[in-house]
Structure 1
Amino acid sequence: MSRIFGLILLLVIVAAAGLFYTAPIISFYDVRSACKSQDIESLAKLIDFDSVRASLKTQLLAGDEGIAAPAPSALNDPVGATGNAVKGVADSIGKAFNELVNPNAPKTPPKPVIDVNSYLTPKALLGLTYGAAKDANRFELSQYEGKPPSPKTAFFSLERARLTITDELRGTTTFTFERHGLTHWQLVHIGLPTPDMEPKPETPAG
């Protein structure tokens, strides 16, 4: 009897561990399903929209240059923070002086206005789960052919998991989930493909 009880207990532990590991993947498919059905209420529970909005805005504004490391902290690195502030003032003065001396010189074009919220509609979020990346705000499911791409686990810990979707043309989009409860995981960050992450065309052997 004790042997059967031990076997049952082992099966329960294995099943619980399997459920815990697959929970972020289940959450990913929940997001995709909620997007397809336009279920805003479910999306509000599955996604931390403030965090995802901030992550997408930073990446879209950075463009191909990529995201820079955070500026030095005045509390932890006062010398570095002061140097960074002085450099910013010097750059502004230099730019103003250059425009004054060379009024006909070509000016840096203004950064395009990006509507980050256009990437947070159910249709755009669905496009992101299909690997549409920066084209997600123009995604149309009716134009998508083939089987929907499946997520792959790139990282997993007790508190955080990263899943990836790879598109042959656009690259790899990364979805970061954080655990909120035993098996509830919430999407907190979407990492768009960067130039160095884009798939490179295969060269024929020989």
Structure 2
Amino acid sequence: MRKIKYVLLLLILCAAGYVVAAPWLTAYRISDAVDRHDSVVLAELVEFDSVRQSLKQQLNSRVLRELGTDNKQNPFSALGASLANIMVDGLLDTYMTPAGIERLMRGETPAPGIPESSPPQSPGDEAGHDPNDTKNPPERKTLFSDARMGYQTLDRFVVTVTDEKGREADFVLSRRGLDWKLTAIALPL
């Protein structure tokens, strides 16, 4: 009888350990999928619709604020709002690809026009690097290398990445049953 209690206690501790460690494991799986350019696994771990919506809200409010179109007395505010929406949709087409997500997670800014299915660059393909120089390949920032990770609530886990200029972007993972998924990205706007 005593062995059954210990086995049961061990199973409960293992289950609790998994529940606590699950968002860290998901962050690792996302990192691994991005490094391997595995869009199938990335699609399983990212809710692209909710990430797109979170980015769209942030970018729309930023563009409208910059254009000053939140002033309802301005007759051109409706035109500015519709143009801003078109610009934001174009920007999101860049961000909502595995390559765009990878650049955001590395703390880089995605460049417009990057094809989704572009093969990974070899070290000699990068600008300013001599392809014959095998001693000093260009450094590529490791995914989540400078990231801070932690729970905000029991159902919300945040990975904070700092870019080259010291700005922070938050990658929000949310609990979906026993699994975790990337559901929002808070850009340093």
The TM-score bracket by the shorter chain reads 0.5 to 0.7
SS state at 1:175 partner: strand
Q: How does 1:125-204 map to 2 (within 5 A)?
A: 125-132=101-108, 135-137=109-111, 144-148=139-143, 149=145, 150-157=147-154, 159-167=155-163, 169-182=165-178, 184-194=179-189
* Structure 1 spans left out of the alignment, 5+ residues: 67-87, 98-107, 195-206
Q: In angstroms, what is the RMSD of aligned CA positions?
A: 3.3
Report the alpha carbon displacement of residue 146 of structure 1 after superposing the two structures with TM.
Answer: 5.0
SS state at 2:21 partner: helix
Report the alpha carbon displacement of residue 125 of structure 1 after superposing the two structures with TM.
Answer: 0.8
TM (norm. structure 2) is 0.65
Measured in 2, the distance between the counterparts of 1:153 and 1:144 equals 27
Report the alpha carbon displacement of residue 191 of structure 1 after superposing the two structures with TM.
Answer: 0.9
Is contact 1:53–1:117 with CA below 8 Å preserved after alignment? no
Question: For the structure 1 residues 122 and 6, does the alpha-carbon distance in structure 2 shift closer, same or farther, using more than 3 Å as the test?
Answer: same
Deviations 1:59-114 (A, max 9, x none): 22333888xxxxxxxxxxxxxxxxxxxxx8xx54x3239xxxxxxxxxx8x75823
TM (norm. structure 1) is 0.61
SS state at 2:188 partner: coil
Report the alpha carbon displacement of residue 41 of structure 1 after superposing the two structures with TM.
Answer: 2.1
SS state at 1:95 partner: coil
Amino acid at match of 2:176: H
Is contact 1:55–1:190 with CA below 8 Å preserved after alignment? yes
Number of residue pairs aligned between Structure 1 and Structure 2: 155
Deviations 1:13-37 (A, max 9, x none): 2222221112112112222222233
Report the alpha carbon displacement of residue 50 of structure 1 after superposing the two structures with TM.
Answer: 0.8
Residue 122, structure 1, aligned to residue 98, structure 2: yes
Which is greater in Rg?
1
Amino acid at match of 2:172: T
Measured in 2, the distance between the counterparts of 1:144 and 1:117 equals 27
Question: For the structure 1 residues 136 and 29, does the alpha-carbon distance in structure 2 shift closer, same or farther, using more than 3 Å as the test?
Answer: farther
Residue 52, structure 1, aligned to residue 51, structure 2: yes
Question: For the structure 1 residues 96 and 165, does the alpha-carbon distance in structure 2 shift closer, same or farther, using more than 3 Å as the test?
Answer: closer
Amino acid at match of 1:185: W
Is contact 1:25–1:163 with CA below 8 Å preserved after alignment? no
* Structure 2 spans left out of the alignment, 5+ residues: 115-119, 124-137
Measured in 2, the distance between the counterparts of 1:29 and 1:137 equals 25
Amino acid at match of 2:167: G
Q: Percent identity, aligned pairs only?
A: 30
Measured in 2, the distance between the counterparts of 1:124 and 1:46 equals 15
* Residue 35 (structure 1) aligns with: 34
Deviations 1:99-141 (A, max 9, x none): xxxxxxxxx8x75823202011111111222222xx1347998
Is contact 2:106–2:142 with CA below 8 Å preserved after alignment? no
Amino acid at match of 2:58: Q
